[in-house]
Amino acid sequence: DAGITQSPRYKITETGRQVTLMCHQTWSHSYMFWYRQDLGHGLRLIYYSAAADITDKGEVPDGYVVSRSKTENFPLTLESATRSQTSVYFCASSATSGSSDTQYFGPGTRLTVL
């Protein structure tokens, strides 16, 4: 299916485990973004990428790692999950700069860290 997809949609893990959230888009958009959304904080940017092999930190990058070896994929890894990383994670993409073009969101991954 065309669009932007995320997997898994739901994940429960334990403190200290490594978790990777996947994001795939079929539009060949240059820009991709990872957000977390928590009550009281709204959407907060974790990392973003302007193109393959170009990534940069957002507002809350600590404890997360990203890579972008291919334009269509932008995985987010929690190297050692903590309870504070329990959240809903959204991936988004845009055709050009995120500030001048619309960001389109994936369906989200609900992550629970026990």
| Binding interface with another protein (CB under 8 A) | 31, 40-45, 48, 50, 56, 58, 90, 97-100, 102-108
Q: Which is nearer to another protein, 81 or 98 (CB)?
A: 98
Q: How far is the CB of 49 from another protein (least distance, A)?
A: 9
CA-based radius of gyration for the chain: 13
β-bridge pairing 76-78 and 64-66: antiparallel
Task: Name, in order, each residue with C-beta under 8 angstroms of 78's C-beta and a sequence gap of 6 or more.
Answer: 18, 19, 20, 21, 63, 64, 85, 111
Instruction: Read off the DSSP letter of residue 53.
Output: T
Q: Which is nearer to another protein, 16 or 107 (CB)?
A: 107
- CA 28 to CA 24: how far, in whole Å? 10
Q: Which is nearer to another protein, 85 or 103 (CB)?
A: 103
Q: How far is the CB of 98 from another protein (least distance, A)?
A: 5
Q: How far is the CB of 15 from another protein (least distance, A)?
A: 27
DSSP 67-83: --SSTTB--EEESS--G
Q: Which is nearer to another protein, 54 or 114 (CB)?
A: 54
Q: How far is the CB of 14 from another protein (least distance, A)?
A: 27
